[in-house]
Amino acid sequence: MSSKGLKSTKRKDNESSEKPDALKSKKPKLSPSNPTDKKHNPTIQNQKPGGGQHAKPKSFGNNDKSVTLSKKERRVQAKELTEARKKRRKPHYTLEQELATLWEKMRRRDIGKEDRLKLISEALQKMKGKMHEIAGSHVSSRVLQTCLKYCSQDEKEVVFKELHPHFLSLASNTYAVHVLQKMLDGASKQQLSSCISSLRGHVASLLRHMVGSVVVDHAYHLGNAAQKQELLGELYSTELQLFKDLNSTSEKRVVDIIAKLGLQKGSVIRHMTAIVQPILEKGIVDHNITHKLLIEYMTVADKTSAAFVIQQLSGPLLIRMVHTRDGSRLAMLCVKHGSAKERKKLIKAMKTEKESHVGSIASDQYGSMVLACIFSIVDDTKLVTKIIVRELEASLKDLVMGKNGRRPLLQLLHPNSSRYFSRDDLASLDLSVPSLCLMDKSETLSETKDSDGKESAEEEKDEQEGTVTEQSGLEENVTIAGSKKDPLLRRQELLVKSGLAERLIDVCVENAEEFLKSNSAKEVMYEVAVGGCDGILLPTLSENLRELYQAIASVAAEPKPEESEKSSQHILEDFHSSRTIRRLVLDSPTFASILFKKALSGKCRSWAQGHCSRILSAFLETQDVQVREMAKEELQVLVDEGALKITGTKKPE
């Protein structure tokens, strides 16, 4: 036989000899199907019934006899194994189970006060010395929150002393953050000051943390003016972060702080940019302190940094910010200085496929001013009509009756009126970013030079403005930059051509009495009835307005109720409605004629007392000669008798 044949034979013998060894190394069966196999398998023969490395637990049976468990028994066994694993993984698992049992009792509404206090004392006693460890647990943190809500002041002191040394570590825990919020809510002034001091040097890092930012904002919300300034100071400059005494300055705005302390503006901008950029990239923009930081940052940022902030915020992020004063001002700055693309992103974010935010924004105190700003600036009226106006039409009655919901409508009817908007509202509409404002003006000046070769005196005056301005005069018509379309044309497209005005008049006709008696809705009713500022409704919707006049006159023509039958005041005797009707008589001759002929002619003597007397006197005070002559014959008799007094300031010529 050749050497080659011998090698192949040896190889086969080796493979055959390795095969049983491989089989032996496999995991042995726990219960062999044939008991007689033990004689031929020494491994199984020498293995003890309950032992061995690979043997099953006794609960599953042994090698001598296999046990079949029912489904219920298997569930019980699985539950026991799960409990055992939890006990090994959680050091306070048993304590948490006991606390959960107490919590189910103490949080019930029908439990007595004394019984609840006993349960709380028992729970706090069990947690003593371990509160900072179990505060981060999903279950026990809820127990601790309930204890802090109902416990006595002495027990709150005990909890505070135990948790305060671990304040910073707990501030970044998903569940412990709720415990800290409850603790801050019930903290004394000294305890709150101590907690805010614990945040010193860590405010910026916590604001970049999704959970830690909640604690910082809650402390900022509860703190006084000095404590708020202390938290904000760390975000403005490294010097203010290192030296606490510098924060005691009376200056609040970062521009004033830079001037007062002589800080380098470039250093301040770099410090604030390093904080602002991660916050915007992570989308942590729901907090008041963040809004304040961003609005102050815009006052000192260069045009590149300011444009970056506007680009990052324009969209869904900004919708989450409009519910605060500073957040709404940021939104208005984005509308004012943003590009057409960024404005489009912001407006589209107000209405998604899943839900619409327009209604909630319009009903919000600060969000309504954002819509008013959009109506005043955005030139794309088709987009605004599609996204915003159509949503407002669906709930016009609620908006008119609401204190905040009426603001966007009043901005269209009578823009920037000091009668309907406060000084703060008008100032927010006139805000601007210095760096972007200078850039816009320089572009405008260059275009003017190219076309005319001259600079106007107004442009030279505007060029000197270099801060985020709040108009000191606060005139009725605030000049708002950022748009190219004629304001009157924009109002016509949003109010008249969109159909909003016609629908608004219909709602006023349907609810004439209710609107006139409402302190909020009467202003919208008046502006609609007089045709809006500049008579924007009169040319197109004159017939619709006559229907509104007829509706008001019909309600006024109802008989005067007897004293015994009075369930509500007549529209001519009500405080709010009588004053609104008086204004309409003075400012709308058409309405005055219809009202007198339909409701007052021949009945003036019965209405010469009370609030209605002011309406009657308006017919003699109006500047319209025809209306005055129409009512003079009947009213002059009452004046001569002394039954009616002329109380207005306007006198007929």
* Dihedral over alpha carbons 342, 344, 350, 353 (to 10 degrees): -120
Mean pLDDT of 475-491: 69
Residue 476 pLDDT greater than 50, yes or no: no
* Lowest mean pLDDT across 131-140, 237-246, 282-291, 561-570: 561-570
DSSP-assigned states of every residue in 186-250? T--HHHHHHHHHHTTTTHHHHHTSTTHHHHHHHHHHHS-HHHHHHHHHHHH-HHHHH-GGGGG-S
Render pLDDT for 36-91 as a digit per residue (tens, 0 to 9): 444 444 444 444 444 444 444 444 444 444 578 888 888 888 887 877 777 777 77
Confidence of residue 401 (pLDDT cuts 50, 70, 90): very high
Q: Given this model, what pLDDT does residue 244 score?
A: 72
Cβ pair 627, 592 in contact under 8 A = yes
3-state secondary structure of 565: coil
Q: Given this model, what pLDDT does residue 182 score?
A: 94
Q: Given this model, what pLDDT does residue 4 score?
A: 46
3-state secondary structure of 636: helix
Confidence of residue 209 (pLDDT cuts 50, 70, 90): very high
Mean per-residue pLDDT of the chain: 82
Render pLDDT for 532-576 as a digit per residue (tens, 0 to 9): 999 999 889 999 999 999 999 999 999 887 765 566 788 999 999
Please state, in angstroms and as integers, the Cα–Cα distance from residue 302 to each residue in 254, 273, 435, 446, following that order.
14, 11, 6, 20
Please state, in angstroms and as integers, the Cα–Cα distance from residue 163 to each residue in 53, 130, 212, 292, 449, following that order.
47, 10, 16, 29, 67
Please state, in angstroms and as integers, the Cα–Cα distance from residue 88 to each residue in 66, 82, 84, 94, following that order.
30, 10, 6, 11
Render pLDDT for 226-281 as a digit per residue (tens, 0 to 9): 899 989 988 998 888 777 777 766 778 888 888 888 888 899 999 999 999 999 99
d(CA 457, CA 455): 7
Query: Whole-prediction pTM value?
Result: 0.79
Please state, in angstroms and as integers, the Cα–Cα distance from residue 24 to each residue in 17, 40, 54, 133, 583, following that order.
12, 13, 14, 50, 105
**Cα Rg, the chain, nearest whole Å:** 39
d(CA 430, CA 475): 11
Confidence of residue 380 (pLDDT cuts 50, 70, 90): very high
Residue 199 pLDDT greater than 60, yes or no: yes
Q: Given this model, what pLDDT does residue 190 score?
A: 93
Q: Given this model, what pLDDT does residue 619 score?
A: 92
Q: Given this model, what pLDDT does residue 441 score?
A: 53
Q: Given this model, what pLDDT does residue 299 score?
A: 92
Mean pLDDT of 511-524: 94
d(CA 385, CA 393): 10
Question: What is the percent of the chain with per-residue pLDDT over 70, rounded to a whole number?
Answer: 80
Q: Given this model, what pLDDT does residue 377 score?
A: 94
Mean pLDDT of 586-596: 94
How many CA atoms lie less than 13 Å away from 385 in the CB half-sphere? 16
Residue 424 pLDDT greater than 90, yes or no: yes
* pLDDT, greater one: 321 or 139: 321
* Lowest mean pLDDT across 21-30, 103-112, 434-443, 584-593: 21-30
d(CA 443, CA 469): 20
Q: Given this model, what pLDDT does residue 39 score?
A: 43
